[in-house]
Amino acid sequence: MILSMRWFGPGHDTIPLRFLRQVPGLKGVVTTLYGSLPGEVWEAAAIRRLQEEVASAGLAITGIESLNVHDAIKAELKERDHYIDNYITSLSRLGEAGIKLVCYNFMPVFDFTRTELAHLREDGAAVFSYDQAVIDTIDPGRMNEHMERISQGFVMPGWEKERVRELQRLFELYQGVDSEALFHNLVYFLKALMPVCQRYGIRMALHPDDPAWPVFGLPRIAGDLPGLLRIVQAVDHPSNGITLCTGSLGTRRDNYIPGIIHALQGRIPYAHVRNLRHTVPGRFEESAHLSADGSLDMYAIMKAFYDTGFDGVLRPDHGRAIFDEVAMPGYGLYDRAIACGYLSGLWEALGKQGKGGA
Ligand code: CS2
Ligand code: MN
């Protein structure tokens, strides 16, 4: 298990790498060329600069999150092959740099969706929350304004202004793209990527839909085990993998996460581990990582990773805003550092039990 944290890069992340270096057991960061838009080719020099900066803090880049996929690919526009070529070029530059894990998602228009990014819990911690009833009152074309209002001046990943400025146009692109078409567009994309992944040993890690059901009537294909299995089987290559995000899959109570981990054994190069608490159907709030604080059993989840021989990159996902920290919602230092301690503790115990105790 390669314990990592997400870091948004110089000028974007408020947390210095030297602080991350002090988190026990942390091997590196997953990061991106923040500010680059989906479809752009990543320059080798920019990748190298980012690598050098991370290395100078004594850490490594353990993966890219995300190399975003242009909507022309998801919606099967005529320019899709051009954007796939660009994607392949960026992958080969990452491969040349020795970076072998690439996370992406295939959600139309939006990345993750939440109604609140600073929902106050009873202990005063602020967390992300979701309420389908509230989403149902929001005009999808104005969801960017809602996000801007709740994101406290930070640019949330996937919600970059340049991208969501033209929401109406984006929605139009997906008219006529149902979940079957979206699935076939993903398969077409993955088949094109496999040769370059094979050459460099790159493992693609599809992030599940978040929440794991259709939002604003947009199609979704990666929200449950049948959907994920269909994707890994359609392009049956070890480089076609899944980001096992417990918090995204866990939005659906009928998703049993340890079972999903077992069923996808060997195809999970990347894990996002976080907890959430279900309140009423269609409504949830994120919680501390501790099992007792949410609806997911973190011991059972980490045990499933352990028992399936997981050797990929694992990071805590969203943290709560605590101790008056001012940071990007979900990505402060304090709660994610606490999560690293907790997840490492579970992992150490599993390892020692696995070897007959120590
Ligand atoms: C992240 C996603 O915040 C989150 O839930 O896990 O934003 C994730 O980075 C993207 O969906 C991956 O492309
Ligand atoms: Mn995630």
**Each residue of 317-341: pLDDT tens digit?**
999 999 999 999 999 999 999 999 9
317 Cβ inside 6 Å of ligand 1:
yes
Decide if 244 contacts 89 (C-beta within 8 A): no
Positions in the chain whose pLDDT score sits under 70? 163-164, 356-358
Mapped onto helix, strand or coil, the DSSP state of residue 205 is strand
332 Cβ inside 6 Å of ligand 1:
no
pLDDT given at position 35: 81
Residues near 153 by beta carbon (within 8 Å), at least 6 away in sequence: none
Longest Cα–Cα distance of the chain, Å, equals: 60
Distance CA 27, CA 19 (A): 13
Q: Number of folded domains in the chain?
A: 1
Q: How close are the terminal C-alpha atoms of the chain, in Å?
A: 19
Q: How many angstroms separate the alpha carbon of residue 15 from the centre of ligand 1?
A: 18
Ligand 1 pocket test: which of 8, 37, 66, 104 has the largest number of ligand atoms within 8 Å of its C-beta?
66
Beta pairing partners, 59:
none
pLDDT given at position 358: 43
State residue 311 phi and psi, 5-degree precision. Answer: -130, 20
According to DSSP H, which parts of the chain are helical? Answer: 17-20, 44-56, 71-74, 80-96, 132-135, 143-150, 161-164, 167-173, 179-200, 225-234, 246-249, 257-263, 298-307, 334-354
Helix axes 179-200, 225-234, angle to 10 degrees: 50
Distance CA 246, CA 207 (A): 10
Q: Tell me which residue has its CA closest to atom 4 in ligand 1.
A: 112
Distance CA 76, CA 195 (A): 21
Residues near 69 by beta carbon (within 8 Å), at least 6 away in sequence: 38, 83, 87, 104, 105, 106, 189
Rounded to the nearest 5 degrees, what angle is found at the Cα of 245, between the Cα atoms of 334 and 135? Answer: 90
Ligand 1 pocket test: which of 5, 65, 335 has the largest number of ligand atoms within 8 Å of its C-beta?
65
65 Cβ inside 6 Å of ligand 1:
yes
Q: How many angstroms separate the alpha carbon of residue 112 from the centre of ligand 1?
A: 6
Q: What is the pLDDT of residues 4-18, one digit of tens each?
A: 999 999 888 999 999
Neighbours of ion ligand 2 (CB under 5 A): 245, 272, 317
Measured from the Cα of 158, ligand 1's closest atom is 7
Distance CA 6, CA 208 (A): 17
Decide if 235 contacts 191 (C-beta within 8 A): yes
Domain that includes residue 316, residue range: 2-354
Q: Taken in order 126, 290, 21, 52, is the CA torsion positive or negative?
A: negative
Measured from the Cα of 210, ligand 1's closest atom is 5
pLDDT given at position 272: 98
104 Cβ inside 6 Å of ligand 1:
yes
Q: How many angstroms separate the alpha carbon of residue 357 from the centre of ligand 1?
A: 36
CATH classification at residue 8: 3.20.20.150
Q: How many angstroms separate the alpha carbon of residue 209 from the centre of ligand 1?
A: 9
Distance CA 248, CA 331 (A): 16
Distance CA 358, CA 101 (A): 33
Query: What's the token pair of residue 113?
Result: 């969706």
Q: How many angstroms separate the alpha carbon of residue 358 from the centre of ligand 2?
A: 33
Q: How many angstroms separate the alpha carbon of residue 184 from the centre of ligand 2?
A: 23
Distance CA 191, CA 82 (A): 15
206 alpha carbon, closest ligand: 1
pLDDT given at position 197: 98
Query: What's the token pair of residue 251?
Result: 């939005």
Per the confidence metrics, is the pTM higher than 0.85?
yes
Decide if 46 contacts 54 (C-beta within 8 A): no
Q: What is the pLDDT of residues 53-110, one digit of tens each?
A: 999 999 999 999 999 999 999 999 999 999 999 999 999 999 999 999 999 999 998 8
